Amino acid sequence: MEEIKRIDRKLVYKGTILDFYEDTMLLPNGKTEVWDFVSHRMGAACVLPVRNDGKILMVRQYRNALERVTLEIPAGKRDSVDEDTSLCAARELEEETGYRAGKIERLLSLKSTVAFCDELIDVYLATDLEKIGGQTLDESESIDIEAHDLSELMDMCYEGKLQDAKTVAAIMAYAARRLKN
């Protein structure tokens, strides 16, 4: 494959979490083209919480980009670029569900949208859950908690009812792990 080279990057907008850039790219044919690039400065973590009865805790919340409510696994951005993502995942689990994990382990890492964004999300599995209280949500959050069977969630993925990439990846990775054991 011939090399494509970035020859310029201009910051268009600096947000609280994301920075938006216009990249001028030199293509192999000698022409230039402007591409959009979104930088996610903090990175994020998400967690697939499995209760002792095998049910998976999911959160239902409004997502502005889609203008609708979605069903997802708990997730959030790191508090700093140095924060260990396992700590971020554990914190988000507690804040969004009121559960604490006795065991948390990484399932996989993924880049959410490689065509235009560098966001890295580490995906964790949380087990040995203990209910420690209620949710501790940010003022802007409104989250309902639901518990589902793995097979039901897999069907929802295949039917297109679950479309959030981190959620689908977590469910499929967990299902694959269960098949191996």
Residue 52 in tokens: 């002792």
The residues with which 129 forms a beta bridge, in sequence order, are 101
Q: Is 139 a catalytic residue?
A: yes
Torsion sign over Cα 166, 110, 136, 128: positive
Burial environment of residue 123 by CB neighbours within 10 A (0 to 12, 13 to 18, 19 or more):
buried
User: What's the one-letter identity of residue 106?
Assistant: R
Residues 144, 145, 149, 150, Cα dihedral to 10°? 90
Helix spans in the chain (H): 85-97, 150-158, 165-180
Alpha carbon distance 22, 15 (integer Å): 15
| Residues 41/17, Cβ–Cβ less than 8 Å | yes
Alpha carbon distance 88, 36 (integer Å): 28
Catalytic option among 2, 3, 67, 139? 139
Alpha carbon distance 80, 161 (integer Å): 33
Which residues participate in catalysis according to the annotation? Answer: 139
